[in-house]
């Protein structure tokens, strides 16, 4: 196999790059064999059906080839990836009890400071396991469940069995099959009918261990007429070995329910981020995705919304930033499977220093899905001549009574705009940063304030130039 | 004796290899108002963009000094921080950045200190009132969806807020209706004092009515061919530029202007 390495531009990401000593109580051997999967399952005390599910998924993984489209994944060698690292701590419900170095990491990332200030609940995952989970008392009283997936598997087994990997099945593609085999951690949320969770819940995923994979599973069920805002944050420090993130997110939005799912992913440049996210929306329900994709060496991420019930709605707002050596292949997909459904996709991508930012999206309208509306708008901003942007939208419409719009704009950063801002005393670098922040503003304004600030900081870090 | 602000001597400049300024001299002292007139394509915009440090223009000979210091090697933002300002003929649209954000960032950059937010807001409100700009414009994205006249007023707003020593207005009055010109003109008058100077490029005299013009320069074919007092303006208005002689435009340049 060709093992040619590409050069990845390196930046100082400050606090995101602080690594801790690799601390674990149990670490699986490198690579992927039935024995390793069995070991993980045993370590996690899975019920029998889950162990069988893992082994079946492994089987599927071994049969499915790598995707034949998108960025090349030739650098991924599963024999080098550690699929399971259990940190040497149990899950805590009191922040004080979390080990100091892990606690410090999350404190620096603004968690659980964020919890005190503006969240209804927080989960924090470190490597393969959730180390902290808490949820506000009043939500518990209303029947809201917010817990780690392992606890959910014990306490809500029938519900997990009914929903787990039914929306994203191991047959979908190679990396969800892998996920099915070695998944660990993640969050489970259940919002009972009619309950309006007005302040967001947040889960944060931190991958500290070098050469490891993170395969967290997030399962959210928003029952009839209920409402939730869920925030997901991800980061990892930099190592010289490849890390793999193949998480899976399954969102079930019932009749008249609504879910806003916001993500800021900020991976180090040694990360292959092959994440799968999907939402199933029933009658008059709505899903809103807000997504910021930063870092990673390769990302393939296309949240898919399946509008199953009449009048269901999907909205996607995403920004992607690709610097030198990075290939960020992202987008969104919407399946209009019922009449009167609507979708709105708004994607912004930024590339610099030879980075490649690709918008890959799909809108499919089924034959019975009459009177549906879809608007796709993707804009790309290239900061120099080295960078590349592509737009690959697929539109597949099976009936005539639809209203579909698509617009794509690819452009280079305007020298005149930079000059204009510089003529107001603003340095060249800050002028560029302002233009880029302005370009991303339609997405940033969809984020809660502190995350919009974080996103602007990430843009600044990306633009502050390279080390060495 | 008046203090010298800007001194340009023997300036030759080219864009993409084509020479546009061909030995230009101009001196501007504090407290003065200078007007530059001349046919389209004579190099007026080139001159002010060059003073501001536009990367597209290349100085092939001569010097530009500001307060006695050669600024030709300085970057645009460094020139701005020294007190040079350009009101653009075609102001850029900057999506996602509000007028207020731009002004605060710019003011902090130019003064080198973080301004107090309340004082800033008050100053902004006053300047907007002077220019009859609706206060909702502070929260709008810079020039996005602005009419031609609104863009120009926004330029003058920035000038008033940043309070430069040398303000250059590149056809700020063009495309404005008579009321808007009057508003802009009163903003400029409001700004003017004996410690700063203004360089105005115009085809129109309306913007000058409220100002005491000290010098009028006629720029043709890359050179200043005549300098006079305010009376020169009415002569130009009556007779045009061509009777002034100098180097008549050759047909190639005329074509370039219309092409």
Say yes or no for a CB contact (<8 Å) between A414 and B96.
Answer: no
**CA B193 to chain CA mean position, Å:** 16
Instruction: Name the residue of chain A whose CA is nearest to B159's CA.
Output: A424
Model confidence at A7: pLDDT above 90: no
As a whole number of angstroms, the distance between CA A350 and CA A125 comes to: 29
Q: Among A324, A332, A286, A275, which residue's Cα sits nearest to residue A308? A: A286
Query: How distant is the Cα of A425 from the closest Cα of chain B, in angstroms?
Result: 4
Model confidence at B247: pLDDT above 50: no
* A107-112 long-range contacts, CB within 8 A, separation 24+: A108/A15, A108/A18, A109/A15, A109/A16, A109/A204, A109/A206, A109/A233, A109/A235, A110/A450, A110/A454, A111/A202, A111/A204, A111/A233
Mind listing the pLDDT tens digit for each residue in B61-99? 999 999 999 999 999 999 999 999 999 999 999 999 999
Instruction: Name the residue of chain A whose CA is nearest to B97's CA.
Output: A438
Mean pLDDT within A20-37? 81
Q: Which of A130-144, A222-236, A289-303 has the lowest mean pLDDT?
A: A130-144
Tokens of A285: 């329900």
Tokens of B84: 């040079």
Say yes or no for a CB contact (<8 Å) between B105 and A441.
Answer: no
3-state secondary structure of A327: strand
Say yes or no for a CB contact (<8 Å) between B97 and A435.
Answer: yes
As a whole number of angstroms, the distance between CA A396 and CA A365 comes to: 6
Helix %, strand %, coil % for chain B, to 5?
40, 30, 35
Model confidence at A3: pLDDT above 50: no
Specify whether the CB–CB gap between B196 and B162 falls below 8 A.
no
* pLDDT for res B239: 81
Q: Tell me which of A25 and A276 has the higher pLDDT.
A: A276
Q: Is A432 part of any domain? A: yes
As a whole number of angstroms, the distance between CA B47 and CA A272 comes to: 52
Of A271, A301, A331, which residue sits at a domain end? A301
B48 touches chain A (CB under 8 A): no
As a whole number of angstroms, the distance between CA B211 and CA B15 comes to: 33
As a whole number of angstroms, the distance between CA A43 and CA A185 comes to: 13
Q: Tell me which of A209 and A371 has the higher pLDDT.
A: A371
3-state secondary structure of B114: coil
Q: Is A200 part of any domain? A: yes
Burial B105-123, CB ≥16 within 10 A → b, else e: bbbebbeeeeeeeeebeeb
- The Cα-based distances of A123 to A186, A204, B9 in angstroms read 8, 6, 68
Q: Is A80 part of any domain? A: yes
Tokens of A186: 């993640």
Cβ-Cβ contacts under 8 Å, A421 against chain B: 94, 102, 106
Q: Is A43 part of any domain? A: yes
Q: Is A356 part of any domain? A: no
The chain-wide mean pLDDT, for chain A, equals 88
Q: Which of B81, B86, B92 sits opposite A416 (nearest CB)?
A: B92
Tell me how many helices (H) and strands (E) chain B has. Answer: 8, 12
**CA A103 to chain CA mean position, Å:** 23
| B157 burial type by CB count under 10 A (0-12 exposed, 13-18 middle, 19+ buried) | buried
Per-residue pLDDT band for B26 (boundaries 50, 70, 90) equals very high
Question: Which residues, at least 6 apart from A154, have a Cβ–Cβ distance to it below 8 Å?
Answer: none
Tokens of A47: 């019920």
Q: Tell me which of B92 and A295 has the higher pLDDT.
A: B92
Per-residue pLDDT band for A126 (boundaries 50, 70, 90) equals confident
B91 touches chain A (CB under 8 A): yes
Q: Is A390 part of any domain? A: no
Q: Is A402 part of any domain? A: no
Q: Enumerate the β-bridge partners of residue A26.
A: A86
Question: Which residues, at least 6 apart from A381, have a Cβ–Cβ distance to it below 8 Å?
Answer: A348, A349, A350, A351, A389, A411, A412, A413, A435, A436, A439
Mind listing the pLDDT tens digit for each residue in B188-236? 999 999 999 999 998 877 888 888 999 999 999 999 999 999 888 888 8
Tokens of A231: 């925030």
Of A275, A301, A327, which residue sits at a domain end? A301
All structural domains of chain B: 4-258 (3.40.50.300)
As a whole number of angstroms, the distance between CA A432 and CA A434 comes to: 5
Say yes or no for a CB contact (<8 Å) between B77 and A426.
Answer: yes
* pLDDT for res A459: 84
Per-residue pLDDT band for A5 (boundaries 50, 70, 90) equals very low
Q: Is A255 part of any domain? A: yes
Model confidence at A94: pLDDT above 70: yes
Mind listing the pLDDT tens digit for each residue in A332-346? 999 999 999 999 999
A388 touches chain B (CB under 8 A): no
Q: Tell me which of A96 and A176 has the higher pLDDT.
A: A176
Phi, psi torsion values for A279, nearest 5 degrees: -130, 140
A297 shares its domain with A437: no
* pLDDT for res A436: 94
Question: Would you say how long chain B is, in residues?
Answer: 259
Query: How distant is the Cα of A362 from the closest Cα of chain B, in angstroms?
Result: 27
Per-residue pLDDT band for A468 (boundaries 50, 70, 90) equals very low
- Tokens 């645009």 correspond to what residue? B76
Say yes or no for a CB contact (<8 Å) between B96 and A426.
Answer: no
Tell me how many helices (H) and strands (E) chain A has. Answer: 11, 25
B257 touches chain A (CB under 8 A): no
The ipTM estimated for the assembled molecules is 0.93
Count of other CB atoms within 10 angstroms of residue A128: 30
A190 shares its domain with A45: yes
Q: Tell me which of A423 and A205 has the higher pLDDT.
A: A423
- The Cα-based distances of B194 to A432, B45, B186, B200 in angstroms read 35, 25, 16, 16
A286 shares its domain with A420: no
Tokens of A13: 């990401």
Instruction: Name the residue of chain A whose CA is nearest to B142's CA.
Output: A438
Mutate to test the interface with B, among A425, A436, A442 (most CBs of B within 10 A): A425
Model confidence at A105: pLDDT above 80: no
Query: How distant is the Cα of B79 from the closest Cα of chain A, in angstroms?
Result: 8
* pLDDT for res A430: 92
Count of other CB atoms within 10 angstroms of residue B210: 15
A288 shares its domain with A424: no
Look up residue A338 and give its DSSP letter: S
Question: At A37, which helix (H) or strand (E)?
Answer: helix A34-43
Q: Which of B80, B85, B97 sits opposite A438 (nearest CB)?
A: B97
Specify whether the CB–CB gap between A93 and A121 falls below 8 A.
no
As a whole number of angstroms, the distance between CA A417 and CA B101 comes to: 15
As a whole number of angstroms, the distance between CA B163 and CA B191 comes to: 8
Cβ-Cβ contacts under 8 Å, A415 against chain B: 55-56
As a whole number of angstroms, the distance between CA A80 and CA A64 comes to: 19
- Tokens 């047959």 correspond to what residue? A171
Query: How distant is the Cα of B102 from the closest Cα of chain A, in angstroms?
Result: 8
Specify whether the CB–CB gap between A406 and A344 falls below 8 A.
no
Mutate to test the interface with A, among B92, B111, B141, B160 (most CBs of A within 10 A): B92
Model confidence at A454: pLDDT above 60: yes
Query: How distant is the Cα of B252 from the closest Cα of chain A, in angstroms?
Result: 28
As a whole number of angstroms, the distance between CA A98 and CA A111 comes to: 12
Mean pLDDT within B125-154? 94
B98 touches chain A (CB under 8 A): no
Q: Which of A48-52, A83-87, B107-111 has the lowest mean pLDDT?
A: A83-87
Range of the domain at A443: 414-468
* pLDDT for res A242: 81
Specify whether the CB–CB gap between B57 and B50 falls below 8 A.
yes
Query: How distant is the Cα of B179 from the closest Cα of chain A, in angstroms?
Result: 27
Instruction: Name the residue of chain B whose CA is nearest to A435's CA.
Output: B94
A135 shares its domain with A280: yes
Q: Among A420, A433, A428, A415, which residue's Cα sits nearest to residue B85? A: A420
* pLDDT for res A100: 80
* pLDDT for res B252: 38
Of A267, A301, A335, which residue sits at a domain end? A301
Instruction: Name the residue of chain A whose CA is nearest to B78's CA.
Output: A425
As a whole number of angstroms, the distance between CA A129 and CA A125 comes to: 5
Per-residue pLDDT band for A20 (boundaries 50, 70, 90) equals confident
Question: Which residues, at least 6 apart from B199, have a Cβ–Cβ distance to it below 8 Å?
Answer: B6, B28, B34, B35, B36, B48, B166, B167, B168, B169
Residues 416-455 of chain A with CB under 8 A from chain B are: 416-417, 419-428, 430-431, 434-435, 437-442
Mean pLDDT within A216-222? 96
Task: Report the domain count for chain A.
Answer: 2
* A427-434 long-range contacts, CB within 8 A, separation 24+: A427/B77, A427/B109, A428/B75, A428/B77, A429/A463, A429/A464, A429/A465, A430/B105, A430/B109, A431/B77, A432/A383, A432/A463, A433/A459, A433/A460, A433/A463, A434/B94, A434/B97, A434/B102, A434/B105
Say yes or no for a CB contact (<8 Å) between B105 and A423.
Answer: no
Question: Is the pTM higher than 0.95?
Answer: no
């Amino acid at each position: 196999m060709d093992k040619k390495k590409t050069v990845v531009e390196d930046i100082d990401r400050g606090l995101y790059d602080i690594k801790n000593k690799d601390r674990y109580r149990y670490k699986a051997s490198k690579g992927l064999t039935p024995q390793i999967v069995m070991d993980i399952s045993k370590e996690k005390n899975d019920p029998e059906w889950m162990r069988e599910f893992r082994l079946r998924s492994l089987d599927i993984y071994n049969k499915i080839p790598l995707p034949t489209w998108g960025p090349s994944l030739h650098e991924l060698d599963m024999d080098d990836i550690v699929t399971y690292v259990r940190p040497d701590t149990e899950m805590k419900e009191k922040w004080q009890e979390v080990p100091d170095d892990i606690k410090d990491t999350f404190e620096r990332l603004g968690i659980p400071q964020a919890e005190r200030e503006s969240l209804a609940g927080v989960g924090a995952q470190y490597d393969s396991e959730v180390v902290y989970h808490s949820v506000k008392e009043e939500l518990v009283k209303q029947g809201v469940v917010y817990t780690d997936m392992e606890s959910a598997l014990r306490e809500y087994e029938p519900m997990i069995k009914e929903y787990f990997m039914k929306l994203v099945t191991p047959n979908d593609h190679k990396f969800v099959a892998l996920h099915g085999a070695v998944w660990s951690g993640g969050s489970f949320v259940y919002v009972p009918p009619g309950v309006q969770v007005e302040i967001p819940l947040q889960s944060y995923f931190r991958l500290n261990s070098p050469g490891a994979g993170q395969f967290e599973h997030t399962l959210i069920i928003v029952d009839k007429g209920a409402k939730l805002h869920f925030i997901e944050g991800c980061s990892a420090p930099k190592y010289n070995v490849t890390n793999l993130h193949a998480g899976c997110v399954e969102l079930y939005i019932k009749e008249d329910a609504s879910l806003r799912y916001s993500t800021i992913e900020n991976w180090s440049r040694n990360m292959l981020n092959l994440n799968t996210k999907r939402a199933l929306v029933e009658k008059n329900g709505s899903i809103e995705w807000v997504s910021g994709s930063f870092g990673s060496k390769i990302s393939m991420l296309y949240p898919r919304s399946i509008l199953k019930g009449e009048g269901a709605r999907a909205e996607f707002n995403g920004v992607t930033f690709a610097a030198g050596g990075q290939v960020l292949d992202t987008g969104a997909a919407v399946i209009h499977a019922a009449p009167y459904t609507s979708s709105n996709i708004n994607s912004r991508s930024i590339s610099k220093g030879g980075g490649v930012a690709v918008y890959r999206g799909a809108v499919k309208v089924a034959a019975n899905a009459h009177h549906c509306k879809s608007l796709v708008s993707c804009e790309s901003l290239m900061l120099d001549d080295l960078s590349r942007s592509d737009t690959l939208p697929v539109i597949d419409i099976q009936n005539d009574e639809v209203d579909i719009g698509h617009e794509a704009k690819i452009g280079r950063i305007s020298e005149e705009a930079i000059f204009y801002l510089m003529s107001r005393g603003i340095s060249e670098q800050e002028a560029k940063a302002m233009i880029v922040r302005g370009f991303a503003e339609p997405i940033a304004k969809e984020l809660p304030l502190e995350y919009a600030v974080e996103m602007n900081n990430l843009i600044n870090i990306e633009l502050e130039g390279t080390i060495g | 004796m008046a203090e010298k602000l800007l001194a340009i001597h023997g300036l030759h400049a080219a864009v993409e290899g084509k020479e546009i300024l061909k030995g230009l001299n101009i001196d501007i002292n504090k407290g003065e108002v200078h007007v530059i007139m001349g046919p389209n394509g004579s190099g007026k915009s080139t001159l002010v963009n060059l003073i501001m440090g536009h990367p597209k223009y290349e100085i092939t000979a001569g010097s530009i000094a500001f307060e006695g210091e050669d600024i030709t090697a300085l970057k645009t933002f460094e020139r701005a921080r020294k007190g040079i300002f350009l009101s653009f003929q075609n102001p850029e649209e900057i999506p996602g950045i509000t007028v207020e954000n731009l002004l605060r960032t710019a003011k902090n950059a130019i003064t080198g200190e973080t301004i107090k937010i309340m004082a800033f807001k008050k100053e902004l409100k006053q300047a907007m009132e002077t220019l009859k700009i609706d206060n909702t414009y502070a929260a709008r994205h810079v020039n996005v969806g602005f009419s031609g006249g609104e863009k120009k007023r926004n330029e003058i707003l920035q000038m008033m807020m940043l309070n430069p020593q040398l303000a250059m207005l590149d056809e700020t009055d063009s495309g404005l209706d008579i009321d808007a010109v009057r508003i802009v003109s009163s903003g400029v008058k409001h700004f003017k004092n004996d410690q700063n100077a203004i360089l105005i490029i115009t085809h129109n005299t309306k913007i000058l009515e409220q100002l005491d013009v000290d010098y009028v320069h006629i720029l043709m074919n890359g050179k200043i061919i005549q300098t006079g007092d305010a009376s020169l303006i009415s002569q130009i208005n009556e007779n045009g530029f061509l009777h002034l002689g100098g180097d008549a435009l050759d047909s190639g340049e005329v074509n370039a202007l219309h092409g």
